[in-house]
Amino acid sequence: MSIGKKRRSTGRVTLAEVAQLAGVGTMTVSRALRTPEQVSDKLREKIEAAVNELGYLPNLAASSLASASSYTIAMVVPSFSESGCAEMFAGLQQVLQPAGYQIMLAESQHYPEREEKLLTTLLSYNLAAAVLLSVEHSPTTRQALQAANIPVVEIGALRDDPIDITIGIDYVAAMYQLTHTLIAGGYQNIGLLCANQEQWIFRQHLQGWHQALLRSHMSPHRVINAAQPASFATGAQQLPEFLLAWPELDALVCASDELACGALYECQRRHVKVPEQLAVVGFGNSEVSRVCQPPLTTMTVPHREIGIQAGQALLARLDGREWCAAGSLPSTLCRRDSC
């Protein structure tokens, strides 16, 4: 009897069909796939040939449900373009992949209700753990993650009452340091440009900004929070708005390097000299901040280290070990020629 690749119902090749083609029992196939060292080389090669011929794919969801364990970790982010997202993901992979874990990445598009639906679906896969690039969640999401009884890491910024573990930087302190640097440099009329980002980041940026200016008895009213993404285009588009509303502007703090570089490009187009006429600073120390002209003064955010520490925290919890939180990771000022 010939064995085809298609099934009458779902079209998925089954373990039984692999076993039939290899001439062995289904338990032997299962053992060869899960613990190949327990099967002879000759038998393993025979089973592998059958798997390749039929195109068999193991049902990992069913396997994890049956064994009450999983090697899948979900990472939910507000946006794939979120500042530092790729670096944090790379840091997680650096730690978790060698340990056999795979990361399932999903995007909530900045909507708490979408995050809630995503996690409800992902939790049905019997996740080993969850990573959230956010610290604001709906009550339903928090309850679902707490009830799941799995390690949960919220990354990016710190929260006083995390679901489980929180790893990130102090955005308030970082923005305070960046703004205070401009004040110490003699700038008097400073503006703040933010764009569409997580509200908790915006609030922490705004808090640090206000602290720095009010402690120096300076006005904190020159703020634009654009509805557009934090991109080069948004930075270029918003600079004319600043100059129109506050022609006295002599320094501009941007909540991301992308916004700052967009503002720099617009300065070049308008023949505004940086930093002689207008100083521009960014946030994140991305690669573009080092190659733009002039090179951008910015705050360094250790995105990859955040991902690495999150991975280490998860491995510790999954192995039943205690995790000693390192607290806030350091963010440092990187001085360049834009101010």
Give the whole-angstrom CA distance, residue 246 versus residue 226. 16
- Please indicate, yes or no, whether residues 176 and 292 belong to a single structural domain of this protein: yes
Query: Residue 318: inside a domain, yes or no?
Result: yes
- Please indicate, yes or no, whether residues 180 and 286 belong to a single structural domain of this protein: yes
Q: What is the pLDDT of residues 237-268, one digit of tens each?
A: 999 999 999 999 999 999 999 999 999 999 99
Query: Residue 21: inside a domain, yes or no?
Result: yes
- Please indicate, yes or no, whether residues 194 and 248 belong to a single structural domain of this protein: yes
- Please indicate, yes or no, whether residues 182 and 241 belong to a single structural domain of this protein: yes
- Please indicate, yes or no, whether residues 37 and 92 belong to a single structural domain of this protein: no
Which stretch of DSSP H or E encloses residue 107? strand 102-107
- Please indicate, yes or no, whether residues 160 and 111 belong to a single structural domain of this protein: yes
Predicted local confidence at residue 62, as pLDDT: 55
Total number of domains in the chain: 3
- Please indicate, yes or no, whether residues 185 and 260 belong to a single structural domain of this protein: yes
Residue 23's CATH number: 1.10.260.40
Domain span holding position 249? 171-300
Query: Residue 138: inside a domain, yes or no?
Result: yes
- Please indicate, yes or no, whether residues 45 and 84 belong to a single structural domain of this protein: no
- Please indicate, yes or no, whether residues 312 and 276 belong to a single structural domain of this protein: no
Query: Residue 338: inside a domain, yes or no?
Result: no
Between residues 25 and 75, which one has the greater pLDDT? 75
Query: Residue 271: inside a domain, yes or no?
Result: yes
Taking each helix axis from N to C end, the angle separating 171-184 and 199-215, rounded to the nearest 10 degrees, works out to 40
What is the full DSSP assignment across 137-152? --HHHHHHHHHHTS-E
Query: Residue 337: inside a domain, yes or no?
Result: no
Percent residues over pLDDT 70 in the chain: 92
Predicted local confidence at residue 160, as pLDDT: 80
Q: What is the pLDDT of residues 96-146, one digit of tens each?
A: 999 999 999 999 988 888 999 999 889 888 899 999 998 788 898 998 998
Burial class (CB in 10 A: 0-12, 13-18, 19+), 308: buried
Burial class (CB in 10 A: 0-12, 13-18, 19+), 233: middle
Query: Is the separation of the CB atoms in 281 and 251 below 8 Å?
Result: yes
Predicted local confidence at residue 69, as pLDDT: 53
Give the whole-angstrom CA distance, residue 165 versus residue 322. 12
Residue 176's CATH number: 3.40.50.2300
Of 136, 180, 130, 129, nearest in space to 158 by CA: 136
- What is the widest separation between alpha-carbon atoms in the chain? 87
Residue type, 192: L
Residue 5 has pLDDT above 50, yes or no: no
* Distance (Å) of CA 255 to CA 185, 196, 224, 318: 19, 10, 11, 35
- Please indicate, yes or no, whether residues 137 and 33 belong to a single structural domain of this protein: no
Query: Residue 261: inside a domain, yes or no?
Result: yes
Query: Residue 194: inside a domain, yes or no?
Result: yes
Give the whole-angstrom CA distance, residue 88 versus residue 284. 13
- Please indicate, yes or no, whether residues 106 and 139 belong to a single structural domain of this protein: yes
- Cis upstream peptide for 294 (omega within 30°): yes
- Please indicate, yes or no, whether residues 35 and 19 belong to a single structural domain of this protein: yes
